[in-house]
Chains A and B, each alone.
Chain A
Amino acid sequence: MSEHLKHLKKLSTIRSGKNIKFLTPAVYSGGWCPMRVACNIVEDIEGVSYLMVGMPECATHSRGMNSLPEGPNGELRWLYVLDANEVIFGCRNGVIEALKEMDAAGAKAILMIATCVTDLIGEDFEGIISEVQPKMNARLSYVTLGQFKNFGSGIGTWKVAEALGEFMLPREKKEKVANLLFLEPWRTKGSPLELPLIIDALERRGVTVRKIAAGATLEDYMDAPDAALNLVTTSYTQPLAAKMQDRFGTPYSPLHNAFTVEDIDKVYKEIEDILGISLEGEFDGWRKKAVELEERAKKELGGKTFVMITEVDMPVALTKYLVGFGMKPLLINVDDIHNEDIGFAKEMKAEGIDPPACRIMYIEKDLEIVRELQPDIVFGYVDKPVTDIKLAEEMGDFFGITGYERTVGILSRIFTVLETGKMGERLDIYGPAPL
């Protein structure tokens, strides 16, 4: 093993984000704060207000350059800043007064977003909600995002998804309603939502697909438990789906983890059964291409080595998929470990595959170590053009996309990069299957 990787833990031994080491120690110039992600997500939900609770740094950076204290539909985006006394003795009373003020100002639902210092001093937000909820019209929820135990944007996203789930109310189930569960940490407001093809297919079969995604409303969240099925398209919303299954008995389809044609077939069959529809013939073109590419992968990808750097969605699940073709992971960048990942890592270890896992925090310098590993292909994002490594970049193209079309996209990109050293054209999943 390379000298530079000796301090890293093997993927199978990682049980929480705490055990994932930086590839090199100096972080340049810092990682994303989960609090900022939380504010960004909530700002895209009509009718949901937030109260950010933290230090002046948090308050300043919770907002983009053009963010204002009120949203387009009267949502409040207010900030509670701890003073020197509250840092020691807690901010309970101040936060309660702030919530009352927001309630009086007309907030319909308030998500409290707590940051590092409140997490450190152990402020009891659940206790605050218990005390004031009965006296308020606004519905309350909270998420604690101290960065020292919530690394990066992914964890911020799934915890926020769970916290927003607290706004959901028991509803009578409707047979032909499904929820799409998809949240993006860094969505540019107003940009089009890219959805997998299954959504359109379901809608054409009379299924109402409620998008619990950017642009959703408070009412969408409140009504979500009426769905017969949740469609999970990212690991960030899988914990919310699991919680909804417990609370409301809503089953979920883990589309996000289905990379192989076999797994996709299986998950589509479940969807057909639960919603009482048939998807026969719907994806024939894409499925045929995916089968073809998987056959080719079995022949050509065996023994190829790879590294995953930053901005690859679900790196552990994707690694497991590629290992299935005999590819060998040399190093995996993992921002955070999900429960599902632990299972995937275990399965890979049983097959003798257990790569070191790390967090890459200074790509320019860390790339020097990646180069030394001499991988056949590298997946992820580099901020400057590189010509000396075969880089499958823009893996974010597949974020939120599932099904045969994602499999076709990923495998096509791998073959193109291996053959030409370049990424090639980006896949248009909304066009015809590239037969």
Chain B
Amino acid sequence: MGLHRFKPMPSGRMGIFWTLASISEAAVVEFGCMGHNIYSGGNLRRGGIYEGYGAPLYTTYIDETDIAMGDTSRLKATIAQVIKNDKPKAIFLQPSAVPEVVGTDMYAVANELQYDFPDTPLIPLGHGSFAISQQKGVEEALKALAKALPEEREKTEKPTYNIIGSCPDLFNFASDSLEIQRLMKGAFDMDIVCDFSSKCSVTDIRNMPSAHINLVIRREGIPAAKYLQKKFGTPYIYARPYGIKGTTKWLCDIGEILGTEPCKEFIDFEENLWKLQYEPGRYTLENNQWQYPDEAVLTIGGHYDVVKGILTFATTELPISKGTAWCNCPEMGDEEIPYFSEKEWIPVVQNHDKGYLMFSGEALKWAGKNTQLQIANPDIAYRMHPYDPPFVGYRGAINIVNKLLNEYVLKH
């Protein structure tokens, strides 16, 4: 990975940890050196995963003798204490970097320890090696949980759904999830079974097979959804709904899978509301494009699916053209949205002077740009509540337009 000026792409272990930390009725036990849990825990609390919201985060510590002797007895003692303290319905086990280096086999250790703790499932995660990204870690965690916890359930009488991939590592995850739930209620009168994993419990994950459809909102959730489809026959749809037309299409696609149509009144109401809300700003954006086409350009970086979604909305539904676009994960980049390392995005951000720039809070702040256009982490602010406007859905569309208009006002 080399030299970095900014926070680097987080490791797979971090992606796994952030995916697990928000699950209640469970506990996370990290085997290894301390630090990651306490700092990540702090970051999660600033991000709205407050004390008592998700899983309690424990660590074992490890010293030189443990490393030299390959001793994992701290893990057993810690698990016993955690069960005594919290009586969790599952314990997620994760190695930190040092056990990874010395090759501690968490799967074998977990299998062995399971005999000692027969009433509490021990779920090992986080091998991930040193070559995988945060996003791959999220994918691994979602899939491992989807394999380990869901149980055979009758489908609910009234149709229900799961969200797969709403995880705390995504900027604005909580508000986006709430908007998706609002859309599903308004369009289909459907309730959620499991918001996997940013706001769920072990029980919710166990109940996932009772849902009628899985809504995968980031590509890292696809392997988990495929597994659930194969094992429990639950169909899935993979898309993030951005924009007005994009959101309506997303709802229609879901309706097609469910064999029903989304509520026409709901969609009409939302689309009409958009027209009314957008009208005062429409002329400004259109005029900007007509007068200064080089300023009606969106430069954007972040998670691939977020970048793709916002960019598609901006370039197909708004008078805005595509500028430089990049994603923050090497495994996801393609010709349309390539992966940019720090060395590649620094000049783009630093030299950006015309148009709109959406990226991480850290980079926008450093470059003295408008931090209201943050769409990615690393974050620079507290996000203690989930009531900020979303980026997805109908409400997200007007929120994005509002932010772009304010950027125009700032510059003119």
Name A residues whose Cβ lies closer than 8 Å to a Cβ of B: 18, 22, 24-33, 35-36, 55-61, 63, 65-66, 68-69, 78-84, 87, 94, 97-98, 101, 116-117, 120-121, 146-149, 151, 361-362, 365
Q: Are the CB atoms of A149 and B101 closer together than 8 Å? A: no
List A contacts of B366 (CB < 8 A). 68-69
A56 near B64: Cβ-Cβ < 8 Å: no
The residue among B1, B11, B37, B60 with the most chain A CB atoms within 10 A of its own CB is: B1
Q: Let me know if B40 and A27 touch, CB within 8 A.
A: no
Contact residue among B36, B58, B97 (Cβ-Cβ distance under 8 Å from A26):
B58
- Asked if residues A94 and B3 are in contact (CB atoms below 8 Å), the reply is yes
B384 adjacent to chain A (CB < 8 Å)? no
Report which of B3, B41, B63, B81 forms a contact with A18, defined as CB distance below 8 A.
B63
Q: Check A116–B98 contact: CB distance below 8 A.
A: yes
Measured between beta carbons, the chain B residues less than 8 angstroms from A98 are 2-3
Residues of B in contact, count (CB < 8 Å)? 60
Contact residues in B for A58 (Cβ distance below 8 Å): 35
B8 touches A27 (CB 8 A): no
> In whole angstroms, what is the CA distance A98 to B366 when docked?
21
Measured in the bound complex, the distance between the Cα atoms of B381 and A349 in whole Å is 51
**B77 engages A25 (CB within 8 Å):** yes
- The answer to whether A36 touches B67 (Cβ under 8 A) is no
* Assembled-state Cα–Cα distance A97/B62 (Å): 32
Q: Among B56, B62, B63, which residue has the most Cβ atoms of chain A within 10 A?
A: B63
CB of A80 to closest CB in B, whole Å: 6
Q: State the CA gap A418–B34 with chains docked (Å).
A: 36
Interface membership of B149, Cβ < 8 A? no
Please state if A56 and B10 are interface contacts (CB–CB under 8 Å): yes
Which of A29, A83, A117 has a CB less than 8 Å from the CB of B59? A29
B14 in complex: contacting residue of A32, A56, A63, A69, CB < 8 Å? A56
Q: Can you name 13 A-B residue pairings with CB atoms under 8 Å?
A: A25-B81, A27-B34, A27-B58, A27-B61, A56-B11, A57-B96, A61-B35, A78-B3, A79-B4, A83-B130, A116-B96, A117-B97, A362-B85
User: Is there a chain A Cβ closer than 8 Å to B257's Cβ?
Assistant: no
Is B9 in contact with chain A by the CB < 8 A criterion?
yes
Question: For window 168-188 of chain B, which residues contact chain A by CB distance below 8 Å?
Answer: none
CB of B379 closer than 8 Å to a CB of A: yes
- The reply to whether A60 and B2 contact each other, CB–CB distance below 8 Å, is no
Cβ of B38 < 8 Å from any Cβ of A?
yes
Q: In the complex, A101→B67 CA distance in Å?
A: 34
By a CB distance below 8 angstroms, the chain A residues around B56 are 28-29
Residues of B within 8 A of A87 (CB): 101, 130
Across-interface contacts of B4 in A (CB, < 8 A): 59, 78-81
Cβ-neighbour of A148 out of B6, B67, B81, B378 (below 8 A): B67
Q: Which 3 A-B pairs have the closest CB atoms?
A: A33-B35, A30-B38, A30-B37
Residue B291 at the chain A interface, CB threshold 8 Å: no
The answer to whether B64 and A149 have CB atoms under 8 Å apart is yes
The answer to whether B7 touches A60 (Cβ under 8 A) is yes
A58 CB to closest chain B CB (Å) equals 8
Contacts of A29 in B (CB 8 A): 37-38, 41, 56-59
Does the CB pair B78–A68 fall under 8 Å? no
Supply 19 further A-B pairs (C-beta < 8 A) apart from A36-B39, A94-B2: A29-B37, A30-B59, A32-B35, A55-B97, A60-B14, A61-B35, A61-B36, A61-B39, A78-B5, A81-B8, A82-B130, A83-B2, A84-B130, A84-B131, A101-B3, A116-B97, A116-B98, A149-B63, A365-B85
The residues of A that contact B273 with a CB separation of less than 8 Å are none
Residue in A27, A33, A83 whose CB lies within 8 Å of B39: A33
Q: How far is the CA of A375 from the CA of B56 in the complex (A)?
A: 30
Report B35 CB to chain A, min CB distance, Å: 3
Chain B residues numbered 44-97 whose CB sits less than 8 Å from any CB in chain A: 46, 56-67, 74, 77-78, 80-82, 85, 96-97
Query: Which residues between 349 and 371 of chain B lie within 8 Å of chain A, taking CB atoms?
Result: 362, 365-366
Contact A57 B58 (CB under 8 A): no
Residue among A25, A80, A84, A121 having the largest count of chain B Cβ atoms under 10 Å: A25
Question: Shortest CB–CB separation between residue A369 and chain B, in angstroms?
Answer: 12
B33–A116 CB distance below 8 A: yes
Q: Is B272 an interface residue (CB 8 A)?
A: no
Query: Does B143 sit at the interface, judged by CB under 8 A?
Result: no
Considering the chains assembled together, what is the distance between the CA atoms of A60 and B9 in angstroms? 9
Answer yes or no: B380 CB below 8 A from chain A CBs.
Answer: yes
Residue of A nearest to B17 (CB): A57
CB contact between B3 and one of A35, A57, A79 (< 8 Å): that residue: A79
B287 at the interface (CB under 8 A from A): no
Contact with A along B114-148 (1 / 0, CB 8 A): 00000000000000011100000000000000000
* Interchain CA distance A427-B34 in the complex, whole Å: 35
Q: Which residues from A are CB-within-8-Å of B276?
A: none
Tell me the nearest residue of chain A to B12, going by C-beta: A56
Tell me the minimal C-beta distance from A289 to chain B in angstroms. 40
Asked if B13 lies at the interface with its beta carbon under 8 angstroms from chain A, I say yes
